[in-house]
Amino acid sequence: MTAKLNGLSTRQQVMVLYTANSALDTGVIAWSFYDGTGKTVHMAGDQNDPPYSTGLDALLDGWRLIQASPLISHVSGDEFRTDYLKYEFFFEKMVEQINETEGK
């Protein structure tokens, strides 16, 4: 059996950046990667330095912003409560990938 090329298709790479305030040009404080190409594997605690200093730097490097967390009013009586990271930005890159299928 030999591998058979079956044309090109695209896969999504997702990067999530968490910034210090709601502006894309502030510093990154947390980040995640999920690679739909399967070429890299990322997990909790695998990096100590952020991939970009700011969200804007990611745009300059070709990442497309697909979702940003909204600004939510503070609930009366619960104004000091802190919970999840507040400024979350989802980015994507579509990557062309050669499909390989098993063939004779």
Partner 1 sequence: MAKPVLLSSEKMAQFASRGFLMMEGVVPKRINDQFLNDIGKVPESEISDPMSYYGKVMGTSAIPVVNAGLPLSDAYPNDNALSKMLALPKVAGAVKSLVGDAPNFDHHFLHMTFPPSFYEDSSRPQASQHWHQDSTIDPRQAFDVQIMYFPHAVTAKMGGTRYLPGSHLRIVSEAAIGRYQNIKGQEFVTCKAGTLLFMHMGIWHGGGLNLSNKVRYMFKIRMCPTQRQERLWDTSDLGNDHYEQRPIFWTGLKGKTNPIHATLTTSEPWFEYDTGRLEYINRVLFWRYLLGDDSFDADYWLTRVENEYA
Question: Which residues of the chain form contacts with partner 1 (CB under 8 A)?
Answer: 16, 18-21, 26, 28-33, 41-48, 50, 80-87
Using DSSP's 3-state secondary structure scheme, residue 51 falls into coil
Taking the complex as a whole, how short is the minimal distance between the CB of residue 36 and partner 1, in angstroms? 16
Q: Are the CB atoms for 11 and 37 separated by under 8 Å?
A: yes
| For partner 1, the closer CB: 48 or 101 | 48
Do 53 and 59 touch, CB atoms closer than 8 A? no
Q: Which is nearer to partner 1, 37 or 47 (CB)?
A: 47
For residues 91 and 32, give the distance between their C-alpha atoms in angstroms, rounded to a whole number: 10
Q: Select 82 or 101, whichever has its Cβ closest to partner 1.
A: 82
CB of 86 to partner 1, least distance (A): 6
Spatial neighbors of 2 by CB under 8 A, at least 6 apart, are: 103, 104
Query: What is the closest distance, in whole angstroms, from the C-beta atom of residue 95 to partner 1 in the complex?
Result: 19
In the complex, the smallest distance separating the C-beta of residue 90 from partner 1, rounded to whole angstroms, is: 10
What are the residue ranges of helices labelled H in 1-101? 55-60
